[in-house]
Amino acid sequence: MTNFQVYRKTLSFSLLMFLVDLLILVVLAGGATAGFFIGFNAVSASGDAQAVAGIVGLLIGFIIGIVGAVLINIFILNRIKAAQIAMMVKGVTEGNLPDKTFHAGFEEVKGRFGSITLFFFITNAIKSVFRQIGRGINKVGTALGGDTGNTITSVIDSAIQTLIGYLCDCCLGWILFRKDQNAARAGCEGAVIFFRSGKTLFRNIGRIFGMGFLSFIVIGGALFGLNYLIFSSVPQLSQALFEAVQKIATEDGGTVPEILSTPALVNVVIAIFIAVFMWSTLHSVLVRPFILVGVMRNYMAAGQASMPTEAEFEEVARKAPKLRKLQEKIQ
């Protein structure tokens, strides 16, 4: 199967995760809103006491919402993510996927909640090591100093963090692939593959950022044009936004920035902000999974080509104390 064929057959999981993300936002907003009104209406006296009760209720409701969001993330979102990755792994390693891919994905991870939970322990160990590596690489930027050095450091940080996100998903893929192996052992193997094949896997940075840039230009540009067209076609809205910006900017004796000095420029700035937000959402739902399939194929090929040895376990464990603890539990 080609990367696009695997991507197309597993896209339904991404769409479902997007809906669950919206549900989490609703739970957070709903908890805070409900808490505010319950607290506000619980006090018979009006004025400050009622306002304070409303704020306290809002905070309590928001905390309850956070608890609900965490539970949804653990018991629903992670399961969907694991099902998608399990099918991606099957597609790139076996070259075929069942017709009912969506149903097969959930069947694949049924009863493997422990393995999925362990994945987060492993990724924390991986991230701790890469933070060490990142600090070493960032010395290049620090040595240069000034704005140039800071820019280089920021770019390196972004590249490493982005790559870690993809490769941690690949580590989960390895845990699910090694279904006959102890989950903890498979997780350690996945981490070793991660570091042992670093040079090979770092080549994926070109794919990740190249497609990300193309996605930003094409999708982000189209969204900007659409947003700007909408704002420009409603003069009353443009004028209202311009007046609101002027009022906020000059409220304490300040001045309006040149970039917001006309209704047209205000439209451009707001259209850009909205377009970036919309693009980041669409990119994670529609584009990132396609990139992940390609990265997953390289990762699985590296793992299958040579299984990790005990010496490699020891080498990686020295850099990752959490990984050593997990290894000791296995033994």
Identify the CA nearest to 38 among candidates 58, 16, 21.
58
What average pLDDT does range 122-126 have in this prediction? 67
Which of 57, 87, 110 is the endpoint of a domain?
110
* Structural domains in the chain (count): 2
Q: State the amino acid at position 69 in one-letter form.
A: A
pLDDT given at position 18: 94
Residue 46 main-chain phi, psi, to 5 deg: -95, 175
pLDDT given at position 241: 77
Angle (CA) 152 155 157, round 5°: 110
Same domain for 317 and 219, yes or no, is yes
| Reported pTM | 0.81
Share of the chain above pLDDT 70, in %: 80
Same domain for 101 and 196, yes or no, is no
- Identify which has the larger pLDDT, 96 or 239: 96
Domain that holds residue 21: 1-110
Q: Give residue-wise pLDDT tens across range 47-104.
A: 677 778 888 899 999 999 999 999 998 889 989 999 999 999 999 999 999 999 999 9
287 falls in which pLDDT band (50, 70, 90)?
Answer: very high
Residue 198 main-chain phi, psi, to 5 deg: -55, -45
What average pLDDT does range 303-308 have in this prediction? 86
Q: CA-CA distance, 313 to 116, in Å (whole number)?
A: 21
The average confidence (pLDDT) of the chain is: 82
Q: Which of 65-79, 145-159, 189-203 has the highest mean pLDDT?
A: 65-79
On the question of pLDDT at 36 being above 70, the answer is yes
Same domain for 92 and 171, yes or no, is no
pLDDT given at position 171: 85
Which of 62, 94, 110 is the endpoint of a domain?
110
- Identify which has the larger pLDDT, 211 or 137: 211
Which of 68, 83, 110 is the endpoint of a domain?
110
Same domain for 22 and 104, yes or no, is yes
